[in-house]
Amino acid sequence: MVRLVLVLGDQLSPGVAALKKADKTSDVVVMAEVMGEATYVQHHPKKIAFLFAAMRKFAAQLESDGWRVAYSRLEDAENGGSISSELLRRAEEFGTDEVLVTEPGEFRVISDLAELPLTATSFEDDRFIASHQDFQNWADGRKQLRMEYFYRDMRRKTGLMMEGDAPAGGQWNYDHDNRKPAPGSVDFNGPMRFTPDETVSEVLTLVAERFGDNFGDLAPFWFATDTGQARQHLAYWIRMGAPLFGDFQDAMMQDERFLYHGFVGAYINAGLLDPLEVCQAVEQAWKDGDIPINAAEGFIRQIIGWREYMRGIYFHEGPEYTSRNILEHDRKLPGLYWGKKTWMACVDHAVTQTKEEAYAHHIQRLMVTGNFALLAGIDPYEVHEWYLAVYADAYEWVEAPNVIGMSQFADGGIIASKPYISSGNYINKMSDYCKSCSYKIKDKTGPDACPFNLLYWHFLDRHRARFEGNPRMAQMYRVWDRMEADKRETVLKDAGAWLAKMDAGETV
Ligand code: FAD
Ligand code: DLZ
Ligand code: SF4
């Protein structure tokens, strides 16, 4: 009997589990552009265009490899609008009720599929280094989960940068070499740009018509949309960008949106690049002497460490994870996240770049937009929905642990041992934003004071009961307590007044 083989928009890998189990002589691959997936958050138009174009090209590649593909375009009159309705329609069309599925990356989709009146066989997505069982085995019996120890296991499992049982170079982690502030200039001009071909151009027209009002600029569109292009970009970045990736991993610059970052997240998460392939290419460049150890180790750690760890936590914690809010933050997400004018140069740069590129690098996400939301006490669910919408690499399995856990501490410390908060000093040290800001980084109080300076103490003060006993935060409470009482009062008053202005919709 014919079986349907579901391939979702982020499963664009020829070796994805359900395809491996299928038979191209009899089974039918089902792929569908659907409003349900395109609107469950208001995705950035670039993200939708990237996925639709990549889906169309992947379907064409499968057909040329001999697969029968039932592909639904968004504009098809019969399109039922959801993955489930398209599967049911195809089941009827091909006279079958059997479906092979690769486990989706979001609980929302997993539960939709579970409710289908079809016989679905789900296979674990094995494009990851750690299976669910591997993560469970590692996590079982540990009082505290910490990425570093998980990462070492992933190094051992993959053999990446290992010399026998020991880490290459004698150290597991070169993070202390990866904290240089913004350099004077950058000699890498960012990701490889691709001119839209016919498929991409068609999709761009569709997305402009249907999703043109979403937050985010569709043009210029230059993303890679197939594996060949993504590999070209990877090779280019390894040669030109990777050597300094480590040094400036935590830096931020107003005129250098990509710095030395890899811009591979969207490609790996959609399935155009395999994470192990990417890491092996970087390891090879290090073996060949083309990139230093701190760059290679730092990059590989992000992928086999952080990326795998985040997925492990998402599935370990379950569907309720996104609604955690241990700090009881309930402020509405302010308009400045959607491009409303702000005088804060750092936030303005991060949001403008997000709007234009559907991309911001890690430190912008963590220490600018994330830090601000945490200090200001914004509802973490609203923060989560924003991140899920605006970045081309965002899927809940990786976005939620980063936002709810790492950035907003809403999970109470499962991912981060302390909140990632900073005053303006950190941003000033790591970026060139402050020099063009309307606020004054050196002012701690008063109308020109950097809001991060005000809100930092406001956060510590309002969460004193929870954090003063944390050994990693005790020093900051000592600094706060040593301040004159009237200065502390002024800081809190100024912070409260500033937040009230923001809540009232004033430009802040
Ligand atoms: P590079 O800096 O070149 O890093 C290489 C790769 O390492 C990334 O492509 C990614 O695959 C992996 N990586 C690095 N850090 C992480 C991390 N913390 N978690 C998982 N993978 C990581 N990443 C996503 O893929 N999707 C998201 O929706 C997402 N949301 C985030 C939200 C917040 C608040 C924060 C702080 C981080 C988020 N990240 C997310 C992680 C990271 O910021 C992005 O993976 C990275 O910026 C992508 O750009 P790049 O490919 O240039 O990364
Ligand atoms: C993100 C996304 C979008 C915008 N559109 C589609 C789509 O039309 N069809 C599809 O199969 N997948 C899409 N996706 C990706 C899915 O949302 C993703 O597979 C799930 O969120 C699980 O990770
Ligand atoms: Fe951001 Fe404060 Fe620096 Fe302005 S002064 S860019 S608000 S950290």
Question: Which is nearest to 379 in space by CA: 437, 438, 329?
Answer: 329
The rounded Cα 43 to chain-centroid distance in angstroms is: 13
Q: Report yes or no on 368 lying in a domain.
A: yes
Q: How far is the CA of 146 from the centre of ligand 2 (A)?
A: 30
Query: For atom 2 of ligand 3, which residue has the closest CA?
Result: 450
Pair (261, 354) in one structural domain:
no
Terminal CA-to-CA distance of the chain, rounded, Å?
Answer: 63
Contact status, residue 12 vs residue 272, Cβ threshold 8 Å: yes
Contact status, residue 254 vs residue 432, Cβ threshold 8 Å: yes
Counting ligands in written order, the one closest to the CA of 455 is 3
Q: Report yes or no on 230 lying in a domain.
A: no
CA distances in angstroms from 501 to 440, 488, 494, 497, 504, listed in the order given: 18, 20, 11, 6, 5
Pair (397, 262) in one structural domain:
no
Q: Report yes or no on 198 lying in a domain.
A: no
pLDDT digits (tens, 9 = 90+) for 113-123: 999 999 999 99
Pair (48, 176) in one structural domain:
no
Tokens of 447: 């109308």
Q: Which domain-ending residue is among 293, 308, 323?
A: 308
CA distances in angstroms from 118 to 21, 112, 113, 232, 234, listed in the order given: 18, 12, 9, 40, 40
Q: Which domain-ending residue is among 69, 88, 123?
A: 123
CA angle in degrees (0–180, nearest 5) for 449-452-453: 55
Q: What is the mean pLDDT of residues 180-190?
A: 88
- 3-state SS class at 123: strand
Q: What is the mean pLDDT of residues 221-239?
A: 98
Query: For atom 2 of ligand 2, which residue has the closest CA?
Result: 37
pLDDT digits (tens, 9 = 90+) for 268-295: 999 999 999 999 999 999 999 999 999 9
Say if ligand 3 is within 6 A of residue 404 CB.
no
Tokens of 293: 């150890």
Query: For atom 1 of ligand 3, which residue has the closest CA?
Result: 346
Could you tell me the pLDDT band of residue 143, with boundaries at 50, 70 and 90?
A: confident
- To test the pocket of ligand 1, the residue of 150, 371, 393 to mutate (highest count of ligand atoms within 8 Å of its CB) is 393
Q: What is the mean pLDDT of residues 318-339?
A: 98
Tokens of 100: 């092979």
CA distances in angstroms from 199 to 191, 195, 356, listed in the order given: 21, 11, 22
Pair (298, 358) in one structural domain:
no
Q: What is the mean pLDDT of residues 462-470?
A: 96
Q: Report yes or no on 197 lying in a domain.
A: no
Q: What is the CATH number of the domain that holds 434?
A: 1.10.579.10
Q: Report yes or no on 223 lying in a domain.
A: no
Per-residue pLDDT, 326 = 98
Q: Given the DSSP bridges, would you call strands 4-6 and 28-32 parallel, antiparallel or unpaired?
A: parallel
Pair (114, 186) in one structural domain:
no
> b/e string for 61-98 if b means 16 or more Cβ within 10 A?
bbeeeebebbbbbbeeeebbbbbbbbbbbbbeebebbb
Alpha helices in 24-178 (DSSP H): 35-39, 45-64, 83-94, 107-114, 132-139, 147-158
Pair (245, 394) in one structural domain:
no
Q: Which domain-ending residue is among 123, 147, 173?
A: 123
Q: Report yes or no on 236 lying in a domain.
A: no
Pair (390, 408) in one structural domain:
yes
Counting ligands in written order, the one closest to the CA of 452 is 3
Tokens of 352: 């403008």
Residue with tokens 């003060």: 461
Integer Cα distance of 50 and 53 in angstroms: 5
Q: Report yes or no on 227 lying in a domain.
A: no
pLDDT at 490 over 80: yes
Integer Cα distance of 336 and 431 in angstroms: 20
Question: Is the complex ipTM more than 0.90?
Answer: yes
pLDDT at 178 over 80: no
Q: How far is the CA of 107 from the centre of ligand 2 (A)?
A: 13
Per-residue pLDDT, 121 = 97
| Burial bucket for residue 492 (CB in 10 Å: 0-12, 13-18, 19+) | middle
Domain, as residue range, for 25: 4-123
Integer Cα distance of 406 and 419 in angstroms: 8
Q: Which residues pair with 31 in a beta bridge?
A: 71
Pair (100, 140) in one structural domain:
no
Q: How far is the CA of 224 from the centre of ligand 3 (A)?
A: 34
| Element (DSSP H or E) covering residue 230 | helix 227-240
Q: What is the CATH number of the domain that holds 266?
A: 1.25.40.80
Say if ligand 2 is within 6 A of residue 399 CB.
no
Contact status, residue 189 vs residue 239, Cβ threshold 8 Å: no
CA distances in angstroms from 345 to 16, 73, 298, 451, 497, listed in the order given: 43, 41, 28, 11, 20
Say if ligand 2 is within 6 A of residue 211 CB.
no
Q: Report yes or no on 26 lying in a domain.
A: yes
pLDDT at 129 over 90: yes
Atom of ligand 2 nearest to the CA of 397: 23
Residue with tokens 């936002």: 403
| Percent of the chain clearing pLDDT 70 (strictly above) | 100
pLDDT digits (tens, 9 = 90+) for 397-442: 999 999 999 999 999 999 999 999 999 999 999 999 999 999 999 9
Pair (139, 23) in one structural domain:
no
Pair (348, 438) in one structural domain:
yes
CA distances in angstroms from 18 to 68, 125, 199, listed in the order given: 14, 9, 26
pLDDT at 177 over 80: no
Atom of ligand 2 nearest to the CA of 8: 11
Pair (420, 353) in one structural domain:
yes
Q: What is the CATH number of the domain that holds 69?
A: 3.40.50.620
Question: Which is nearest to 386 in space by CA: 225, 82, 372?
Answer: 372
Q: Given the DSSP bridges, would you call strands 119-123 and 98-102 parallel, antiparallel or unpaired?
A: parallel
Q: What is the mean pLDDT of residues 65-74?
A: 98
Pair (340, 419) in one structural domain:
yes
In total, how many domains does the chain have? 3
Say if ligand 3 is within 6 A of residue 367 CB.
no
CA distances in angstroms from 484 to 423, 447, 491, listed in the order given: 19, 20, 11
Per-residue pLDDT, 184 = 84
Q: Given the DSSP bridges, would you call strands 166-167 and 162-163 parallel, antiparallel or unpaired?
A: antiparallel
